[in-house]
A and B are shown apart, each in its own frame.
Chain A
Amino acid sequence: MTLDQLHHITAKESAARQNLRYQLDVCVAAGCLSSHSDRVKKSLEEVLAGREVKESYRVRGVGCMGLCSLGPLVSVEPGGALYQSVSPADTAEIVEHLDYEPLKRLQCPRDLPFFERQVNVVLENSGRIDPERIEDYVAAEGYEALIKALTEMTPAEVIEQITRSGLRGRGGAGYPTGLKWGTVAKAGSGSKYVVCNADEGDPGAFMDRSVLESDPQRVLEGMIIAGYAVGASRGYIYVRAEYPLAVTRLNAAIRQAKHLGLLGTEICNTTFDFDIDLRLGAGALVCGQATALIASIEGQRGAPRPRPPYPAQVGLFECPTLINNVETFANVPPIIRKGGDWYAGMGTKKSKGTKVFALTGKINRTGLIEVPMGMTLREIIFDIGGGVPEGRKFKAVQTGGPSGGCLPEQFLDMAVDYDSLAQAGSIMGSGGMIVMDDGSCMVDVAKFFMEFCMTESCGKCIPCRAGTAQMYNLLAKISEGAATQGDLAMLEDLCDMVKHTSLCGLGQTAPNPVLSTLRHFRDEYVAHIVEKRCPAGVCPCPAKEGGR
């Protein structure tokens, strides 16, 4: 495969497109699929099959368009009409309106802040290409970055561009990606591995799932470029077994990339070989930790080990290993295509580029968004997300999953980046953003996350194994209205101990939900302990709010 051949595919695709009068794109990512978009797609096909010159219509399944709460979504080109909550019963009417005004009844305005305020880099193809056809990806400038890297750049130059871009690991910790690549590149000349961490274990987060389902080729391309840069010839994608659609699409993507000679031996007629294999996770949050993930790929229990040595030196099968998250790899092709400086032009001083967030919870427009780093929480939640529904009051936003924290109203005007979130007592995490209204009790939320960490603790180190269980018991006691001030003091002591003495990130961050709610909502804890009352009326306290 050369650049010319790539352009040939692009030309063929756009010629086919020009013969079409209308193209109808139906979202077939997991969100819309669970509202039965597959039936909508089938029904559209049936209606159009009955039309004259049916060759001039095409119905395509595409990836996530973002606005999951209004699915199934259907978009029409040309014209750009977007339809929401489409059912199979609506398809005949949509087709009738093709040549006229768009069907007002189902139309979703394109000028919503939800769409207009976003900047799409990772999601640039999401909802615009068929994730099951590599030709669609190629027609959207796919694999140009790989060919550019392989034929015009040295591995060191690739790493230089990634470093210049200021890209930081999107899995949560925010480690500079260029630095990590550089370390692996320098780690000897023997076998090396590239691993894509797609074990999206944080509850309330589905960014990686959506990228894998909507644009799998982009992740492969990012990994192949990484393999070239660090000198690896084998890659693994560690993906959750709970994401069957992502697994199917990844397998298809790998097969198609191999067929076009973009994966395998002598890629693009160079001497570079690279192969990618899938490994299925089996439901363990701790496997998101790099060393536990390595153990799991090796077929063992997912228990982490002390670092150093870091995986960049001694990783998978004892070889130097580069581990990055799905979204990190998905950022690589555009950075190589447009240059590191272009990427560094977006975002804040220390957090460059864009970030994908999964906006969920008590919010009007739930879905997947991508915004430049540095946008405020208020803009994300109220402008893009449309605020809290049913006249209820915003109470807190939870970021970073079980490792993160809850931020109250006074932080709404804070610019979102790695450092500001950490200062406020939460973390960026992988990008889950769960909005809570005044119907949620913060003690109950802290208890929910602690129960999660307690069950997910692998049991290897005592602070995490025993500490999370003790903290859970104390939180349960508080929520039942049976705790004393002494219990609260003990809870705070335990938080400190578990945070500083646990072996891996899971234990070190497990106290965060408790610490952040104690910091910002201490009065709620006190109400449970002193007045035996749950202000939100959620917990089984003896004296319920407004109760007897």
Chain B
Amino acid sequence: MQTALGKVAPPSDDRRWKLVSATMRRHGHRRDALIETLHTVQQSFGYLDQDSLRYVALSLRVPLSRAFGVATFYHYFSLKPPGEHTCVICMGTACYIKGAQLLVAEIEKSFGVKPGQTTADGRISLLAARCIGSCGLAPAAVFDGEVAAKLTPAELQGRLHRWDK
């Protein structure tokens, strides 16, 4: 991947790498741009795979161990590809007090996935968030980026089954 001149070529000719390299350029390829760059990779590709981590590490001249260390340290980064749809259940204190664990149990019962897992058919990923800050409207969940407030188990089922078709 590394050429004689030290310039690193992206893993493929996917156009999304242009976004990634733009982020690195904006930060002057400084090492402290690692987290910002990984954010761009995840935003563009949905997750961080080995190729992307290697590319970013080489480009910013940080040890591969550090790139992996950072990627695994922070909960926001995912090393697995997400499902077609993502449901994030907020498990912050306010949501917990208002029964968020019942929502998680509901999904586990009907879809057989725990937080952090994706259904076998790859349609739905279930995630648990620490707190999404919608505490005034607990319990809350995020369906493909859209926040749903004061969620009941029945509504949750309805939304997920709509995805499952």
Q: Mark A residues whose CB is within 8 Å of B.
A: 30-31, 33-35, 68-69, 71, 200-206, 209, 241-243, 279-285, 296-302, 317, 358-362, 366-368, 398, 401, 432, 434, 436, 440, 448-449, 452, 456, 458
Q: Does B6 contact A (CB under 8 A)?
A: no
Nearest A residue (CB) for B77: A282
Query: In the complex the two chains form, is A300's CB within 8 Å of B70's CB?
Result: yes
Q: Specify which chain A residues have a CB less than 8 angstroms from the CB of B86 in the assembled complex.
A: none
Complex Cα spacing A136 to B24, Å: 35
**A202-B131, A436-B97 as given contacts; A35 in contact with B149, CB under 8 Å:** yes
Which 4 A/B pairs are nearest by Cβ-Cβ distance?
A: A68-B136, A203-B92, A282-B74, A204-B93
Query: In the complex the two chains form, is B135's CB within 8 Å of A432's CB?
Result: yes
Complex Cα spacing A158 to B15, Å: 50
Q: Mark B residues whose CB is within 8 Å of A.
A: 31-36, 38-39, 62, 66, 69-70, 73-77, 91-94, 96-98, 129-138, 140, 147-149
**A401-B93, A448-B93 as given contacts; A360 in contact with B138, CB under 8 Å:** yes
Q: Which of B62, B97, B134, B135 has the most CB of A within 10 A?
A: B135
Query: In the complex the two chains form, is A366's CB within 8 Å of B74's CB?
Result: no
Complex Cα spacing A298 to B115, Å: 30
Nearest B residue (CB) for A365: B136
Query: In the complex the two chains form, is B131's CB within 8 Å of A299's CB?
Result: no
Query: In the complex the two chains form, is B76's CB within 8 Å of A204's CB?
Result: no
Closest approach, in angstroms, between the C-beta of A379 and any C-beta of chain B? Answer: 19
**A205-B131, A206-B136 as given contacts; A280 in contact with B39, CB under 8 Å:** yes
Q: Specify which chain B residues have a CB less than 8 angstroms from the CB of A31 in the assembled complex.
A: 134, 136-137, 149
Closest approach, in angstroms, between the C-beta of A440 and any C-beta of chain B? Answer: 6
Query: In the complex the two chains form, is B131's CB within 8 Å of A368's CB?
Result: no
Complex Cα spacing A464 to B76, Å: 22
Q: Specify which chain A residues have a CB less than 8 angstroms from the CB of B96 in the assembled complex.
A: 203, 448
Complex Cα spacing A44 to B10, Å: 48
Nearest A residue (CB) for B71: A282
28 contacts between A and B (CB under 8 A): A31-B134, A31-B149, A34-B147, A35-B137, A68-B137, A69-B137, A202-B131, A203-B131, A206-B134, A241-B76, A242-B132, A279-B36, A280-B35, A280-B36, A282-B39, A282-B76, A283-B130, A284-B73, A299-B31, A299-B35, A302-B73, A360-B135, A361-B94, A361-B97, A366-B135, A366-B136, A436-B97, A440-B97
Complex Cα spacing A436 to B62, Å: 47
Query: In the complex the two chains form, is A204's CB within 8 Å of B70's CB?
Result: no
New contact pairs (10) apart from A33-B147, A35-B137, A434-B93, CB-CB < 8 Å: A69-B137, A203-B91, A204-B94, A209-B133, A282-B74, A299-B34, A300-B66, A360-B135, A361-B93, A368-B136
**A299-B35, A368-B136 as given contacts; A362 in contact with B74, CB under 8 Å:** no
**A282-B35, A434-B97 as given contacts; A30 in contact with B133, CB under 8 Å:** yes
Query: In the complex the two chains form, is A30's CB within 8 Å of B73's CB?
Result: no
Complex Cα spacing A327 to B31, Å: 30
Q: Specify which chain B residues have a CB less than 8 angstroms from the CB of A297 in the assembled complex.
A: 32
Interchain CB contact (< 8 A) of A367 among B39, B62, B136, B140: B136
**A35-B137, A243-B133, A285-B130 as given contacts; A203 in contact with B66, CB under 8 Å:** no
Nearest B residue (CB) for A286: B73
Complex Cα spacing A283 to B73, Å: 9
Query: In the complex the two chains form, is A299's CB within 8 Å of B135's CB?
Result: no
Closest approach, in angstroms, between the C-beta of A427 and any C-beta of chain B? Answer: 15
Nearest A residue (CB) for B66: A300
Complex Cα spacing A101 to B148, Å: 33
Q: Specify which chain A residues have a CB less than 8 angstroms from the CB of B35 in the assembled complex.
A: 279-280, 282, 296, 299
Q: Specify which chain B residues have a CB less than 8 angstroms from the CB of A201 in the assembled complex.
A: 130-131
Complex Cα spacing A206 to B93, Å: 12
Interchain CB contact (< 8 A) of A301 among B32, B36, B73: B73
Q: Specify which chain A residues have a CB less than 8 angstroms from the CB of B66 in the assembled complex.
A: 300
Complex Cα spacing A368 to B136, Å: 8
Closest approach, in angstroms, between the C-beta of B124 and any C-beta of chain A? Answer: 20
Closest approach, in angstroms, between the C-beta of A339 and any C-beta of chain B? Answer: 33
Complex Cα spacing A73 to B118, Å: 37
Query: In the complex the two chains form, is A458's CB within 8 Å of B73's CB?
Result: yes
Query: In the complex the two chains form, is B136's CB within 8 Å of A361's CB?
Result: no
Closest approach, in angstroms, between the C-beta of A104 and any C-beta of chain B? Answer: 25
Nearest A residue (CB) for B35: A299
